[in-house]
Amino acid sequence: MPSDPRNVVSFESIDAAYATFIPDGTSIVYDGTQIDGAAVAIIGQAVSLSAGSTVQLTNDGDGVSGKLILVESDLKCNVQFEGFMRLPGGLAAALTVGKRIVGATGASAARGFIREVNTATAAELGRMAGRIIDATDATNVIVDF
């Protein structure tokens, strides 16, 4: 007998929306030898706007614009900017359910991670986005944009 689908909690792709952006060419670079056009280490990471229509992997305290899905050979990239998504929590990042997020760094100052907003830092309040739905697994934090 198949398992009861009500026993499976999943938010994947609910209200998902995607857009095409230009990768910054520094933190997001096309690599035709890789699946999804970029190193596995950056696909699925958090991105922020760096210039008009251009995205980069997030730095600490950046506004999060979405999740990097794919990098194309024509130097465009696909970003999920709306709906439920999984993003990686930063190194020792505070990740509290219900809190808004900003960019963070990972091990060795790697970019593309998230953490909860520091409400004592005024600049972060203007950049915060989304909200944490489940942080049980800090490498796959469920966020709703």
Helix and strand totals (H; E) in the chain:
1, 10
Q: Is the pLDDT of residue 2 over 70?
A: no
Kindly report the average pLDDT of the chain as a whole number.
94
- Percentage with pLDDT > 70 across the chain: 97
Q: Is the pLDDT of residue 1 over 90?
A: no
Neighbours of 131 (CB within 10 A): 17
Whether the predicted model's global pTM rises above the 0.75 cut: yes
For 47-80, write each residue's pLDDT tens digit. Answer: 999 999 999 999 999 999 999 999 999 999 999 9
Would you call 18 exposed, middle or buried from its count of C-beta atoms within 10 A (0-12, 13-18, 19+)? middle
Q: What is the dihedral of CA 114, 83, 80, 47, to 10 degrees?
A: -20
Q: Is the pLDDT of residue 18 over 60?
A: yes
Average pLDDT, integer, range 74-91: 97
